[in-house]
Amino acid sequence: MFFDVNKKEHTSIQNLRDTTKAYLRGITIAYNARKKKEREKENKLQNDIRKLERQAQLTPKNEQIINKWKLAKHKLNILEQERNLRALKFVKQNYFENANKPGRWLAYR
């Protein structure tokens, strides 16, 4: 897609190469930033759950702490389900792409 938009007759190969590198670097940085944000969110939820569990052990009758703990566990569960769905989608795609190649599976395993 990048080359369809940026391939012009008057553009030098060196300039096209440099812009491609910059474009790919931007995509990589955005991907890593998104992954880091997801990891930080998950770590924050896990820390909140641990903290709320300790508070619930100290004051087991406090319903507000228990409700916050349940909500944090629910949010963490949703994040894990989304991650599992993405992984499942990738596996399905991989099986679909390699379905009619008999020797291909032995090379992967």
Number of separate helices (H) and strands (E) present in the chain: 4, 0
Each residue's pLDDT tens digit, 45-83: 999 999 999 999 999 999 999 999 999 999 999 999 999
Instruction: Specify whether the CB–CB gap between 49 and 76 falls below 8 A.
Output: yes
What is Dmax (Cα atoms) for the chain?
74
Q: What pLDDT sits at residue 95?
A: 72
- Record the pTM: 0.68
